Amino acid sequence: MISRGEGIHVYDEAGKQYIEGLSGLWSVGVGFSEPRLVEAAHKQMQALPYYHSFAHKAHEPSIRLAEKLVEMTPEGLDRVFFTSSGSEANDTVVKMVWFMNNALGRPEKKKFLARTKGYHGITVASGSLTGLPYNHMHFDLPAIPVMHLTCPHHYRFGQEDESEADFTARLLKEAEEVIEREGPETIAAFIGEPLMAAGGVMPPPEGYWPGIEALCRKHDILLVSDEVICGFGRLGSSFGCVHYGFTPDIMVTSKQLTSSYMPLAAIVFSKKVYDAIADNTARIGTFGHGFTASGHPVATAVGLENLHIIEERDLIGNAARMGARMQDGLRAYADHPLVGEVRGAGLIAGLELVADKATKRPFDPVGRVGLMAFETGHEEGLICRNVGDTLALCPPMIVTETDVDEIVARMGRILDRTA
């Protein structure tokens, strides 16, 4: 039981202190108990605790946050839709894209391309986009037309002696073959996390994203960047798409948007998508979609203050500097007998454990890495998380050099105690 948090630390009921090495669920960017966020929520609670955004109504915090998002995100993304979670946001994206293609008179253009091991949420549509078997099994998912392409992780899915460049070329060829086989006129959008996080911390191979972007442009397929984890500086760049050099038509953000102090997600998208929907509603009918809590005033007030803090304290620059230090420190464990691969970017890192470094045989017995993260991690005072055989780290973006060195040292002790 975790009962309080402060800065990069949380404390259990017995008062034991832990470094929150995963920022909760990859999300508490500005750290715990930030007084400015508490104050922003308090003030908004007093002024207007709730109002909606339906039927020509609006309120200041949601408008101001939408403006801020348009200012911060890459050029061309200038319309905003709020939901309360990343899953709801991705469901909304599916509906927006479908509505748009119906409005444009091409109702057959509905399929999504996603990747195995991608994570986009757990609701019916977003869970279908997710590419993890345990999110599908026994739920009858996927329930929407989606094709999962090969996970772009060279260490696990590259063929023997295949260079990273050749791996990228093979993945792009696969994507184009699927597009041509299905017919581009049936494919609506490609969705991906810039760096796949929840599926096991997997940065893309060199050249992957520009290649995917080119394919999307060539075949008139919308490109959706799911930045729920990567957005607002996690990788040391403003957004994951900026980090890897591509421009999406639709961006999905959450988590770092409010540092998870309030549930909030924002879809930021192009005027082209907006106009296709808005221009046609008179003809085909209202875009009948929205949630009671869309743009919730307290959540958006907290989000706005959170983004101001990220800018004023240069937390994106800090994530770049501290991220480089953390990646360097962890790469020192690449020779550790348990470690198959150390990977990541900025303040997201993963250590994949193997039973045999030469053959990459998965670490066993099953569940041991979870125990390392849970039991040994707790004993060492470092909360991290296992994703299969990968130990994942994603500390708050306020970490200092001393904090990073301590995280790296504790991770080393967790490895040594298990070896």
Using CB under 6 A as the criterion, which residues of the chain lie in contact with ligand PLP when the complex forms? 85-87, 90, 119-121, 193, 197-198, 226, 228-229, 254
- Which H/E stretch holds residue 213? helix 208-218
How near is the Cβ of 238 to ligand PLP at its closest, in Å?
17
Measured from the CB atom, the residue of 261 and 363 that comes closer to ligand PLP is 261
How near is the Cβ of 8 to ligand PLP at its closest, in Å?
20
User: Cα–Cα distance between 221 and 236 in angstroms, integer?
Assistant: 28
- Residue closest to 128 by CA, chosen among 150, 143, 116: 143
In the block, residue with structure tokens 């590259």: 158
What Å distances lie between residue 141 and 10, 116, 289, 392, CA to CA?
36, 13, 22, 27
Nearest 10 degrees: CA dihedral of 221, 227, 231, 234? -120
Measured from the CB atom, the residue of 112 and 363 that comes closer to ligand PLP is 112
Measured from the CB atom, the residue of 81 and 363 that comes closer to ligand PLP is 81
How near is the Cβ of 409 to ligand PLP at its closest, in Å?
28
How near is the Cβ of 130 to ligand PLP at its closest, in Å?
8
How near is the Cβ of 255 to ligand PLP at its closest, in Å?
7
How near is the Cβ of 413 to ligand PLP at its closest, in Å?
28
User: Cα–Cα distance between 17 and 45 in angstroms, integer?
Assistant: 31
State the distance between the two ends of the chain, measured CA to CA, in whole angstroms: 28
Q: Sign of the C-alpha dihedral, residues 213, 215, 217, 223?
A: negative
User: Cα–Cα distance between 109 and 418 in angstroms, integer?
Assistant: 51
DSSP per position, 246-260 = ---SEEEE-GGGTTT
Measured from the CB atom, the residue of 27 and 376 that comes closer to ligand PLP is 27
How near is the Cβ of 98 to ligand PLP at its closest, in Å?
19
If one counts every other C-beta atom within 10 angstroms of the C-beta of residue 278, the result is: 13
User: In this chain, which residue has its C-beta nearest to ligand PLP?
Assistant: 86
SS3 of 396, please?
coil
Measured from the CB atom, the residue of 237 and 376 that comes closer to ligand PLP is 237
Measured from the CB atom, the residue of 373 and 408 that comes closer to ligand PLP is 373
Measured from the CB atom, the residue of 83 and 168 that comes closer to ligand PLP is 83
